[in-house]
């Protein structure tokens, strides 16, 4: 069977990305980063790492792996831990990054089978992007809800979907729609789940001299036109206070280990959150958030959200650079409020 390799000339990865030739049967390339090895077949992503008893190989469903990798790439390794599943993931050291296997799973760690390796974040990102490009076939959009992208992730490699995986993340400076800032989404279609969301715009009447300073937009309209899921985008910025609203459907593709307190405001519908200990994964709470509910997610947990009906969620982040250190050293309690 002839193999497609459209990425070879147009988007050859930087020379420091270690990749092998396409597998003759499936068309997918294997990759290496440090001591980690990555390969995929028709259904699965395989990650292996060295242990004192030889290499250990771990299997994830390829769609779940690609959805998680998409988040790691789009969010530049995000805050704290990005667990692809209970075994494999990344830890952001802001400038550097750790990839880990079994480190936050006591059975592996206690048996001496876990592995952690630290990388320059830019180098690790180049490999992550190269894997994402190579392993996503045409028609599979790792940012979309399952119903909106189908099962194009299964089977041998067939083309690619560079447009979907290289989508620019919204990087608002102050607020979408201000001159020179990120655009509003009026040109995008309203998502099928949000057909009933009012589309009226606020009237803005600034006093002379305040044009370009006073601004407002319809956030529900803006979110109703989001074409991705589980992608909190910076949508208003006030010093370190970042409002990151997002639309959620199916499962948050990562299990996020917080390195700071995050606030959630459930804007519509419902999300159920499984909350567990960040270090061990021991279950701590099941939180059902209904429209209007507000929750503070502590700094010492991991969590994953489940949303049957596409819902709108506001994630409120504090981007202060010293927060991970303050929480890790115990100088700040893991909760924002003691009751
Ligand atoms: C989170 O980990 O807090 C998080 C990540 C992605 C989302 C929502 C919440 O879409
Ligand atoms: Fe989180």
**Which residues partner with 29 through β-bridges?**
none
Q: Tens digit of pLDDT for each residue in 46-100?
A: 999 999 999 999 999 999 999 999 999 999 999 999 999 999 999 999 999 999 9
Res 65: pLDDT: 98
**DSSP letter (8 states) at residue 96:** E
Q: How many CA atoms lie within 13 A of 177 on its CB side?
A: 19
Q: What percent of the chain has pLDDT over 90?
A: 90
Atom of ligand 1 nearest to the CA of 231: 10
Q: What per-residue confidence (pLDDT) applies to 212?
A: 82
Ligand 1: residues with CB < 6 A are: 230, 232, 246, 248, 252, 256, 262, 305, 313, 315
Contact 134, 142 (CB under 8 A): no
- Chain centroid to Cα 180, Å, comes to 26
Q: Report the sign of the C-alpha dihedral through residues 153, 88, 46, 306, in that order.
A: negative
Pick the atom of ligand 1 nearest to 248's CA. 10
Query: Phi/psi of residue 150, each to 5°?
Result: 70, -165
HSE-CB of 167 using CA atoms within 13 angstroms: 19
User: By mean pLDDT, which of 8-17, 240-249, 274-283 is the weakest?
Assistant: 8-17
Ligand 2 centre distance from Cα of residue 329 (Å) = 19
Q: Please give the number of the atom of ligand 1 that sits closest to the Cα of 79.
A: 2
Model pTM?
Answer: 0.94
Model confidence pLDDT, tens digit, residues 202-252: 999 999 999 888 999 999 999 999 999 999 989 999 999 999 999 999 999
């Amino acid at each position: 069977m002839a193999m497609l390799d459209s990425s070879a000339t147009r988007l050859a990865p930087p020379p420091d990305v270690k990749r092998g030739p396409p597998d003759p049967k499936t068309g997918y390339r294997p990759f290496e980063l440090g001591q980690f090895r990555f390969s995929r077949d028709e259904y699965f992503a395989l990650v292996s790492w060295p242990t004192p008893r030889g290499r250990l190989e771990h299997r994830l469903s390829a769609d779940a792996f690609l959805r998680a990798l998409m988040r790691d790439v789009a969010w530049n390794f995000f805050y704290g831990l990005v667990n692809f599943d209970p075994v494999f993931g990344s830890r952001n050291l802001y400038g550097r990054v750790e990839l880990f296997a079994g480190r936050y799973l006591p059975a592996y760690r206690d048996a001496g089978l876990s592995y952690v390796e630290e990388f320059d974040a830019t180098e690790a990102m180049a490999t992550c992007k190269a894997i994402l490009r190579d392993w996503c076939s045409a028609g599979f959009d790792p940012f979309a809800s399952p119903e909106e992208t189908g099962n194009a992730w299964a089977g041998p490699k067939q083309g690619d979907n560079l447009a979907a995986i290289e989508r620019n993340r919204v990087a608002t400076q102050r607020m979408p729609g201000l001159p020179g800032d990120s655009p509003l989404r009026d040109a995008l279609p309203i998502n099928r789940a949000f057909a009933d969301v009012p589309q009226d715009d606020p009237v803005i009447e600034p006093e002379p001299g305040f044009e370009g300073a006073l601004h407002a937009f319809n956030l529900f309209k803006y979110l109703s036109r989001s074409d991705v899921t589980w992608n909190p985008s910076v949508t208003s910025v006030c010093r370190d206070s970042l409002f990151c609203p997002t639309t959620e459907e199916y499962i948050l593709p990562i299990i996020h280990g917080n390195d700071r307190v995050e606030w959630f405001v459930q804007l519509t519908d419902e999300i159920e959150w499984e909350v567990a200990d960040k270090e061990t994964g021991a279950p701590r709470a099941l939180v059902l958030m209904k429209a209007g509910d507000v929750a503070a997610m502590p700094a010492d947990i991991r969590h994953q959200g489940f949303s049957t009906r596409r819902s709108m969620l506001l994630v409120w982040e504090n981007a202060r650079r010293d927060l991970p250190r303050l929480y890790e050293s115990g100088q700040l309690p893991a909760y924002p409020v003691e009751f």
